[in-house]
Amino acid sequence: MPAANEAGKHHIYPVATPRLPPLVPPVQPIRGTADLIGEDSRRHRHVIDTARAVAATYGCDEWSTPIFEATAVFARTLGETSDVVTKEMYSFEDRGGDSVTLRPEGTAGVCRALVSNGLTQTLPQKIFYAGPMFRYERPQKGRYRQFHQIGLELIGAAEPLADAEAIACGHGILTALGIAADTTLELNTLGDTDSRSAYRAALVDYFTLHRAALSEESLTRLDRNPMRILDSKDPADRALVADAPTIAPHLTDTARAFYDGVKRHLDRIGVPYRENPRIVRGLDYYSHTAFEFVTDRLGAQGTVLAGGRYDGLVAEMGGPPTPAVGWAAGIERLAMLLAAPPPAPAPIAVIPIGDAAEPAALDVLQALRRAGIRAEMAYRGNLRRRMERANKIAARAAVLLGEDDIAAGVAQVKDLASGEQIAIPLAELPDRLR
Ligand code: ATP
Ligand code: MG
């Protein structure tokens, strides 16, 4: 038998005694992770919903790939000297002895999925995704260990128009979120393979000359991937990078024509950009276009949306050579830029007057919900308590149902802002309250 509480109003059911003592409070989330509750959750959802809708207008379908993959999916493709692979991956051996990694980014998994699902002959594929990513980083504002990204991939298009469309879609999302004016698009080209090997040689010459001033880490990069030095966050490296040669004089005619094409399309679409020869991106698979939307409103973590062309990645994943371009954006950083979180829609409070009115009130409650209206009925309480509750949940109206009203087939609807009250036939409630 359930035991009645002191008020005698509701029953508390006994629960089984836990076998272990409870955790000693306060139990905290893992460092660098966060709970999304209330306003945080609404901001987060708003970013995803807005991005998904804009991406759909560009013809994108949404893909969801697993949150963990074989470690090789990332280790082999992101670049063995990239920050992500050298120090940020959450990799572990599972119980079967396989090395798996919590995904640090979305593109490698999408390309793996393209190949696994035999879609490399069904191109182009236009893909939108949203979900959590994991990187072992030093947590700070705008930088977490579990964070979330939205992303876009246009796979199977070699034309500069695809680069411009990917960027325009990103810009469209920032515009729809009301934050485009807070960001600047920085654009660069990494050229084709020939441009890059010429540029690489120029960088090796330059950084070798300044070898003594380079950070330990960049000395390794100098041997293995000198372009990565341009992305270094070390202050001493950054000073050298400021005067490093740029790729422009090393671009082949093809690479230059491609870059000009991207810029021409962006001009035509009306997406403003600033050329920045220092944008190189942190992962190895990029070529040609590289871009970042940056803001000065988030302190050091100023990049909100970033991407580029990655023509080599699908082939590295075991598919045929397949051109592709895409980007990813940090949802937390976008959410922080939103002026105000979108409000939760105000509910309708359904209020039975007396126990006998509750079944009819439940019918009304469900009819409103079927009509897509947010409606709530308190689980218990007298009229005064229920009205207090309606105000507490900021209901826009209360639907009051007394036995006489029910007999007459009406409800008293009280506008909780104006206090005005009118009788409305039960059948008309969903339409009148919408
Ligand atoms: P950063 O230079 O800030 O480390 P990144 O080059 O590592 O960025 P990308 O891999 O391009 O970032 O990821 C795309 C976007 O995802 C970033 O521009 C940022 O908005 C977001 N992002 C990346 N890492 C994190 C993180 N640890 N926490 C929150 N957001 C992140
Ligand atoms: Mg990073």
Strands (E), 200-282: 274-275
Atom of ligand 1 nearest to the CA of 302: 3
What pLDDT is attached to residue 16?
72
The residue type of 216 is: E
Cβ 363 under 6 angstroms from ligand 1 = no
Which ligand 1 atom is nearest residue 305's CA? Answer: 18
Q: Which atom of ligand 1 is nearest to the CA of 231?
A: 2
Ligand 2 midpoint to CA 289 (Å): 19
Q: Which amino acid is at 55?
A: A
Site to probe by mutation for ligand 1, drawn from 301, 304, 305, 336 as the one with most ligand atoms within 8 Å of Cβ, is 301
20 alpha-carbon distance from chain centroid: 38
Residue-level pLDDT at 128: 98
| Spatial CA neighbour of 315 closest among 80, 185, 139, 155 | 155
Tell me the residue type at 191. G
The one-letter amino acid code at 378 reads: A
Interval 253-292: pLDDT, tens: 999 999 999 999 999 999 999 999 989 876 777 899 999 9
Residues 326 and 152: beta-carbon distance below 8 Å: yes
Ligand 1 atom 30: residue of nearest CA: 330
Residue 88: which of 149, 132, 134 has the closest Cα? 134
- CB of 329 closer than 6 A to ligand 1? yes
Neighbour-count burial of 60, counting CB atoms closer than 10 A to its CB (0-12 exposed, 13-18 middle, 19+ buried):
buried
- What does the radius of gyration of the chain's CA atoms come to, in whole angstroms? 28
All domains of the chain in start order, with CATH: 39-192+252-337 (3.30.930.10), 348-433 (3.40.50.800)
Distance between CA 414 and CA 383 in Å, rounded?
13
Give, for ligand 1, the residue of 149, 305, 313, 331 to mutate: max count of ligand atoms closer than 8 Å to Cβ: 149
pLDDT at 2: 45
Atom of ligand 1 nearest to the CA of 83: 7
Buried b (16+ CB within 10 A) or exposed e, 283-314: bbbbbbbbbbbbbeebeebbbbbbbbbbbbbb
Contacts of 177 (CB under 8 A, 6+ apart): 46, 47, 50, 334, 337, 338
Ligand nearest to the CA of residue 231, numbered in listed order: 1
Q: Ligand 1 within 6 A of 88 CB?
A: no
Tell me the pTM: 0.90
Residue closest via CA to ligand 1's atom 21 equals 330
Cα–Cα distances in angstroms (integers) from residue 378 to residues 351, 358, 385, 390, in the given order: 8, 11, 9, 8
Residue ranges of the chain with per-residue pLDDT less than 50 = 1-8
User: Are the C-beta atoms of residues 345 and 434 closer than 8 Å to each other?
Assistant: no
Residue with tokens 């202050």: 235
pLDDT at residue number 336: 96
The finding on whether 286 has its CB within 6 A of some atom of ligand 1 is no
Q: Are 160 and 311 in contact (CB under 8 A)?
A: no
Is any atom of ligand 1 closer than 6 Å to the C-beta of 375? no
Atom of ligand 1 nearest to the CA of 84: 7
